[in-house]
Structure 1
Amino acid sequence: MRKLSTRRRHPLAGLLVLLTGLVVAGGLYAAFAPKPAEAEAVTSRDIEAGRDLFIIGCASCHGTNAEGIETQRGNVYGPSLIGVGAASVDFQVGTGRMPLAQAGVQAPDKRLAYSEEETRQLAAYVASLAPGPAIPGEEYTDIDDADVDDIREGGELFRTNCTACHNSVGAGGAMPGGKYAPDIRDVTPVHMAEAMITGPQQMPVFSDEVISPEEKRNIIAYVDQLNSQPEYGGFGGGSLGPVVDGMFTFVIGIGGLVGFAIWIGAHGARVKKR
């Protein structure tokens, strides 16, 4: 005991205890800490292939080095892509919005110009230029295990943050300046997550500090279950709400009254032939 007590008073005893504690704490953290979602490995070959595709199909608008192109009037012909990340490229190219067919107030989704592999290579090249949002992993998109409470929370978040533009059932709607919020009911979970993370066009950015990855997943689960939701009350009219209701009221209701008035006029006593 006396020998042990003497060693505890050694000048290096405190340092040894500190190092031991750090090693033990680090080992426990490595063993029990949650593992992050592993993204698909990107190789230098993918980046080189992506640059070749970029030079051919994208550089005419976005510049040879993705720095963007300005017109002589100072307008942006093609914005800079430095720092937009792989998520933005995967959304824009993976939904067919890019390459842009013609200049307009909004890029519509259309038939894909690049394969899945080519889209991944383009995203890898742009991501190599500067740090930016990565393609979302399963923490955003794995909706298979979402329960009733998750979907209910997703519905509340959707009605609070999304219905002003996308309609209460995700059917989309018109916006000022010729723009519109697209129908999102058939959009893949990855693209929905990418849209929330990157904020394409007039859509605001919902960072993970504003809406957490789990909450984004719940929103996606809610939108997904809308695809199987029945049309309550008969014909849904595209789920566009009072716009469709007003159209049917005008066409059928007012149109029927006009037709009835014409019939009365045609069969009135004063117009009958003698």
Structure 2
Amino acid sequence: MVVYISLIICLGLSFLQPPVQAVIKNNVYSPLIELVITHLNESPLNFDNWTMEISLSLSYEQQERISWNIPWSRLLEEGKSSLELQKQLKPVNSLILRLWMSLYWYLRRVHLLNEVLLSNFAQELMNLRRSQPDMWNNSLQNMGQSLPSFLRLLLQSQRLCLQHKKEMLNIGAEYHLELGANSNCSIWEVHEEKEDHWLRLVNVCDDTSHFFVSMLSQAGSQFLFSAPSNMATHFCVINGLGFFEEASKTNIGCQWLLNDCRFLHLI
């Protein structure tokens, strides 16, 4: 602990030095960066406790400076997986939040973000925005804006309208098809599921009307499943007729556009 305090004091003093001396003292960050790497290789509980202690001692600017200089490539080369790092960096304090954002931008820059990682990042952003609004800032907003369009939509709105991609019909209560989103019965609210990467869409007028969508499907259109499984039946429309079809079929007429309907007034 004495070492940590000494380093923190040095960090604080470096900002009081003339510009040249401050630059020379910038290498004081290197020991802290190495400490982050060391603690990442320990138990998650120890890492959370240590980062909490450090985050209380460092300014936000100092935390960012450390976070953005973590050699993520080195950790990956030493055997850590991207998914393992992501799970360990659950944002429970300000320093881990910045490390988590730093990891995201690194993985994005080197094209290592897959559907699972993107879904996990999106779910965590949704949780932060809903349960910890005091932590929400422009950096998190920019991160959310960089997500694929479907995940970006889920971050922006928890009230969606479901429009058939080809026939442009919307689904209302009791799976009734209508032209346009004309009432609150066109709204489907987003609920998280226990199953990984699945969301349940529930109609606001009829809670027995529901669909499931996968956050791993991040293209412009979605399938609406009857259960949280890719093998479940999904809802399709052909010539204005809606029906559930087996997943093994051709999937013609089964693609849907999910639109933001938070501005559609509830009656």
Task: Compute the TM-score of the two structures, normalised by the length of structure 2.
Answer: 0.25
Structure of greater relative contact order (alpha carbons < 8 Å, 6+ residues apart): 1
Who wins on radius of gyration, i.e. which is larger? 1
Structure ranking higher in strand proportion:
2
Task: Compute the TM-score of the two structures, normalised by the length of structure 1.
Answer: 0.25
Structure ranking higher in helix proportion:
1
